[in-house]
């Protein structure tokens, strides 16, 4: 399956969640078993030799491929959830969205110094969510942090707060404003 075929399976919803946003709905990729398999295979190929021990999946669509990838790589899965969704002791990070602010949380101690972590989400627009997740993971001092998204909206202006050594990959690049 080609990248163009994957791109053709993404549904665009105009003016969601607010006017002016061209929401890239990845759930239509997940409904198609060939797309789901292709995404999974591509992610495994990217990370099979990186020594990944934990996958941090960002709420909520990052949970889907993040959990699949964790199982295929023999790694643990750590959910990064919106504020107030996790019980127990947690750490948090607040960040800016294209249309407001949000906070993500992870359980304290879910990442250790020996871990090599892949932070995974469905989409990269301004980068605020990914940057916040990387800062959050970085508070637990793992050996290395990688970042991955299914869709990279290349025309969006980025926040300048990614860790300098972050290797960030995407499966599908889309050039829209």
Q: Which member of 61, 81, 93, 105 is catalytic? A: 61
Ordered structural domains, the chain, with CATH: 50-174 (3.40.50.2020)
- Summarize pLDDT for 124-152 with one digit per residue, the tens: 988 888 999 999 999 999 999 999 999 99
> Given this model, what pLDDT does residue 65 score?
97
CA 47 vs CA 3, 51, 176: distances in Å: 18, 8, 27
Q: What percentage of the chain carries pLDDT values higher than 90?
A: 81
Pairing of strands 11-14, 90-97: unpaired
DSSP 14-67: ET-SSTT-EEEETHHHHHSHHHHHHHHHHHHHHHTTTT--EEEEETTTHHHHHH
Predicted confidence at residue 160, as pLDDT, reads 63
Q: How far apart are CA 136 and CA 155, in angstroms?
A: 26
Q: Of 7, 72, 96, 98, which is the active-site residue?
A: 98
Annotated catalytic residue 61 = yes
Model pLDDT, residue 99: 66
What's the confidence (pLDDT) of residue 98? Answer: 62
Residue (of 100, 106, 103) closest to 119 by Cα position: 106
Q: What is the pLDDT of residue 125?
A: 86
pLDDT < 70 positions in the chain:
98-99, 160, 177
Q: How confident is the model at residue 157, as a pLDDT?
A: 80
Tokens 């860790």 belong to 163
Residue 155, CA atoms < 13 Å, CB-side half-sphere: 6
59 is known as an active-site residue: no
pLDDT for 162: 83
Whole-number pLDDT of residue 144: 97
Structure-block tokens of residue 155: 């025309």
Answer whether 134's CB lies under 8 Å from 166's CB: yes
Contact in structure between 171 and 42 (CB atoms under 8 Å): yes
């Amino acid at each position: 399956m080609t990248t163009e075929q994957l791109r053709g399976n993404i549904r665009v919803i105009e003016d969601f969640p607010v006017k002016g946003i061209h929401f890239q709905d990845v759930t239509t990729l997940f409904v198609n078993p060939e797309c789901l398999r292709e995404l999974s295979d591509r992610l495994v190929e990217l990370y099979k030799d990186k020594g990944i021990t934990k996958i941090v999946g960002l709420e909520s669509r990052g949970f889907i491929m993040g959990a699949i990838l964790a199982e295929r790589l023999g790694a643990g899965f750590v959910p990064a959830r919106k504020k107030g969704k996790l019980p127990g002791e947690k750490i948090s990070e607040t960040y800016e969205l294209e249309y407001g602010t949000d906070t993500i949380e992870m359980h304290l101690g879910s990442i250790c110094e020996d871990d090599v972590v892949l932070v995974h989400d469905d989409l990269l627009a301004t980068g605020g969510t990914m940057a916040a997740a990387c800062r959050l993971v970085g508070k637990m001092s793992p050996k290395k942090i990688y970042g991955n998204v299914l869709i990279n909206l290349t025309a969006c202006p980025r926040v300048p707060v990614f860790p300098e050594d972050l290797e960030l990959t995407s499966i599908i690049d889309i050039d829209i404003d």
